[in-house]
Amino acid sequence: MDNVPISGLDELNNHLDNLIQDPNLAIIPKLFDDVELQLTDSNIPPLIPSLLPKLTQILQQYNDDPAVIVSLTIKLLRPISFTQVLQLASEDSLNQALSSPTPAAQILGLTILHKAAKSPTDAAILSVMPSLVTSLLTAWLSSPKVEVGEKASKVIGDLLDIDCPRPPPPPPPAITTGATPFHHQLVLRRVPGRGELWKLIFHQPSTYNLLLDLISGRHPGTANNTSQLSLAQGRILRILPRLAALNIDAIAQSNILAPTPVHLTNGHLTDDEDSDTEMNGTDENATRNENAATNPPQPGEGLLQYAGLRMVDKRDVLMHLNLVDFFEVFVSLMRITEYSATKEAIVKALLRDAVPHDDMLRDALNSLPDRTVEEEADGLRAWLRAVMPAVAEVPLR
């Protein structure tokens, strides 16, 4: 089977040569599709030296949607390691793909970076290319395309998993009950990582401030764009429980003071809401944000506190629901991760600050055991009794 010739390969090679000579030439998608359908892990390697350089050159000069080119390129890259890709594609070309306005090119860049999640060594190599990491974060949080956001979330989560310096969680006892997956089933790494990406993203000021600016509405990718800011904040909220399960200490403390979110500095939500407020002659915005506005980001707080307590404008009903969903997932996942007094203290402190001023959140967490599987309900109730603030801790409104 390995010696079976690939039908249409000569025609595709000729077409690629023509596209290199004339970037304005129309692509013939069928030539790409016919060859791609015949590719296997065994017949790909001999094609890489001839096809991949041509595809890379065309991608750099092609102005239209390169989806069909990207699809074939991704297929060719499948058996290649991250370090091998770096020998074929420069850091600049990867940055160009990640910052491209076309989703297909961004997906290609993300697919390549995802290869670094195969081993701690590859993840450490990526950490010494900070421009790629900043391009990754920017693509993740500033792209309006769902497929780009989802792919980037997977890439970042897997990279930080494989790079996590903590030992992987131990396997469960031989005899167990319950339907919840064990923590060790939720991680990729089998040995501790080097922690270099964690340091770069959460402790390097330029990188961490970029992340904070993107989710606070202070970056050009999200500033003055309520829809994109909501997407960015939603993506952060969805990945945070996983990051907390990996290394909660790293996201619960920081020496870098977070900026005050834009919604606390100018009271702006949307043009429509501003108009409604003016028509009603009220100042409801200031009242609704009173608690948060008097409690801006505090020194020492990490991304966990910023996202859970400061980031979201609760006047945005959908974002408020996203925030409640985050807390439900976060609290549930923290119950099944390996116990430590530090972890419990972080969860209790976060809920102590979040619950008193949010009736929707309090009701959702109190009812969470009733909405989970029966086998897990009692354990979840016990965990909530341990971490939820007592009634005496909730100030009168």
pLDDT 10s digits, 322-358: 999 999 999 999 999 999 999 999 999 999 999 998 9
Q: What percent of the chain has pLDDT over 70?
A: 86
Cα gap 209→226, rounded to integer Å = 20
Helix %, strand %, coil % of the chain (to 5)? 65, 0, 30
Check pLDDT > 60 for residue 250: yes
Task: Enter the pTM of the model.
Answer: 0.88
Phi and psi angles of residue 364, each rounded to the nearest 5 degrees, phi first: -65, -45
> Average pLDDT for residues 196-202, to the nearest whole number?
98
The model's confidence at residue 6, banded by pLDDT at 50, 70 and 90, is very high
| Beta carbons within 10 angstroms of residue 116's beta carbon | 28
DSSP string, 130-192: HHHHHHHHHHHHH---HHHHHHHHHHHHHHHHHH--SPPPPPPPSS---SSPPGGGG---SS-
The model's confidence at residue 185, banded by pLDDT at 50, 70 and 90, is low
DSSP string, 175-191: S---SSPPGGGG---SS
Scan for tokens 């020998």, then name that residue: 87
Does residue 124 contact residue 87 with C-beta atoms inside 8 Å? no
Question: Quick one: tokens of 134?
Answer: 């900043």
Question: Quick one: tokens of 139?
Answer: 């693509």
pLDDT 10s digits, 186-195: 688 989 999 9
Cα gap 203→162, rounded to integer Å = 18
> Average pLDDT for residues 72-85, to the nearest whole number?
95
pLDDT for 230 equals 97
More confident residue, 273 or 314: 314
- To which H or E segment does residue 301 belong? strand 300-301
Cα gap 295→79, rounded to integer Å = 51
